[in-house]
Amino acid sequence: IWGYPVVILCLLCGIFFTVRLGLIQFRCFPHAVALITGKYDNPNETGQITHFQALSAALSGTIGLGNIAGVSIAIAMGGPGAVLWMWIVGIFGMATKYTECYLGTFYREESPDTKEVRGGPMYYITKGLGSNWKPLSIFYAISIILAAVGAGNLFQANQAAQALTTLRIDPIITGLVLFSLAAVVIIGGIKRIGSVASKIVPFMCVVYVLGALGICFMNLDLIPEAFSIIFNDAFSGRAATGGAIGSVIIMGVRRAIFSNEAGLGSASIAHAAVKTNYPIREGIVASLGPLIDTIVVCTATALVIILSGNFGTERYQMTSKSLNHYINFEQNERIGELPSNWSVTNQKIPGESEILRTYKDGGSVLSVNNNSQTTSYTTKPITLTDNAIKLSYFCQEGPMTITILNSNNSPIASVDINPKQQDQIINNTSFIDRVLNTSIIPAQESTGIKTVGFTYANEWKSGVITLDKNIIENLPQSNNQKPMVKLRFTTSNQPTTWLIDRIQSVKEAGGITLTTISFDEFFKGFGSLFITISVFFFAFSTLITWSYYGETAVTYLSGKKYIILYKCLFVGMIIIGSVQNLSVVLNFSDAMLGLIVIPNTIAIVFLSKKVLNATKDYFTKLKNGDIVAYK
């Protein structure tokens, strides 16, 4: 569901509304700032919350794990270039959010008893397109209820609980605390949600962004290099996947949509509760959402990760500093016997071409300079603390076969590496072909192992060899009960010149883990605490907002009859989410989240003429002085 069709649909919608509404996200920006500062707030207008509270409530549903974990996933899977595509989607998404939230406010309904107003895609699908479209609105309502319980509740509670385990807090304790806090806020309704969100979200955004900015100022001279990596990788894909630009684009677009929700229509539910008699104003305010979410907060996370150098194969990290699982050529530790043409040298070693990533350790490296004969070098045993081995290499010429051996010297699996040849494939492939073909240089796979990153020549780079679980389980173990392997490097009968360094046992870091270790690069120990606290508050704010999205959908389907039951079930699920592994439920809720894009985008495109007319009318009145500030 979250493959090309839905992702392209959201992107095309953003482009369509940007063009049709005349770059509305840029034209309305000054007025949007005036609206959220309260200059036009009239307490006598219809609605429950202010423009600022509505924006905060909507942002609390979007700013969260998508900005902390989602960005690191995009960089891990698509490379730093994915960040540029996140920016592009964020900018276009501002026009989509503008459209959704105007429609959600314009077609909202007011309860005759409580005077509460509710809106969102369920309402504008039926009221805007007609009663024949009601099955589509019912489908949207059911899907967003399931998504609210899964992605908006269970997932948030689970991640908050997992984050706090780093502080040795039992998940059930986290669940009970979240349960108590959420119950007080959720039962209080959208007024209390808006009030709490307007305090938590701005504070956490400022604190989080300031933390990232602090790191940027500490490394001000490296900022141009960080942006250069983003732009270069966006069109080459080399830092991530060896030429797979398609995967860079799809990952950037996908994570941006997950983060700012432009195209899902969910934010229009929160914005529909605003106090205003001018629905177009809420579209204007809502357009700031993707800007803050994707351009500001996501960029803050991305810069920290890139400045730390933890992208590409460098996201594979050692997880234990205490175990001796690192071959140090500088100190001649655990080198083993060196055959002819192999040596440990500190003479004429090429320098690293990158500023932000480090591939060498010290001054000495393993070297092979072979003209015409096949030679092999076997390391001493390497203790595996996880499922992968990473090594740095400089290939001047010639292929290399890397064989994994057990500690008894029995071969397990091998893979042939020819970086120079693979690099030539990338250089000789047209840009269009690289965009369309997401597997020009695929990860090499042999029986039981997979290699990533061996795609460069004449530069220091790192490559990773990942071992299957079945292989690891059958390996002989060391005295500390850890499996051990050896690496054998074998040259061919072709001229071969390689340099090798930093052979180590590693594990792939992604999601919150990658963000945490990146912050820790600059604030030792504090980074973990900072991210843990941020995750808790962002998860809580997302949880309470998505409770309201589900509540609105329940109201649309059955009126007030089941609201209390829904709220009780929702807060009760928090405890389950905090202590259970719910991958199946979460995958299902993510599917529901993807499916709601289809009815929502159909509706907003068909209603685009109404949005265009309302936009022209409002800005003409504003220009002529017919609309003035309230205070």
The Cα–Cα gap between 181 and 537 comes to 11
Q: What is the mean pLDDT of residues 179-188?
A: 80
The Cα–Cα gap between 235 and 249 comes to 9
Q: Cβ contacts of residue 84 below 8 Å, gap of 6+?
A: 230, 231, 234, 252
Q: What is the mean pLDDT of residues 192-213?
A: 73
* pLDDT score for 442: 43
Predicted confidence (pLDDT) per residue in 278-333, tens digit: 888 888 888 888 888 888 888 888 999 999 988 888 888 886 665 556 777 777 66
* pLDDT score for 413: 81
Q: What is the mean pLDDT of residues 209-224?
A: 88
* CB-based contact 178:578 (threshold 8 Å): yes
The Cα–Cα gap between 48 and 117 comes to 7
Supply 591's token pair.
């599917």
- Which of 4-8, 144-148, 302-306 is predicted with the least confidence, judged by mean pLDDT? 4-8
Quick check: 83 pLDDT over 80? yes
Per-residue HEC secondary structure of 526-545 comes to HHHHHHHHHHHHHHHHHHHH
Burial class, 573, CB count within 10 angstroms (exposed 0-12 / middle 13-18 / buried 19+): buried
pLDDT band at 109 (very low <50, low <70, confident <90, very high): confident
Quick check: 590 pLDDT over 80? no
* Tally of CA atoms within 13 A in the half-sphere of 585 that contains its CB: 17
pLDDT band at 239 (very low <50, low <70, confident <90, very high): very low
- Supply the mean pLDDT for the chain: 80
Supply 426's token pair.
């990338």
Task: Name the maximum alpha-carbon separation found in the chain.
Answer: 90
Quick check: 242 pLDDT over 70? no
* CB-based contact 298:251 (threshold 8 Å): no
Predicted confidence (pLDDT) per residue in 338-383, tens digit: 888 888 888 888 888 888 888 888 778 889 888 777 888 888 888 8
Nearest Cα neighbor of 68 from 244, 239, 235, 304 is 304
Supply 176's token pair.
């009970």
Supply 102's token pair.
């105007």
Predicted confidence (pLDDT) per residue in 45-60, tens digit: 666 667 677 676 666 6
Model confidence pTM above 0.85: no
**Collapsing DSSP states into helix, strand and coil, what is residue 583?**
helix
DSSP annotation of 262: T
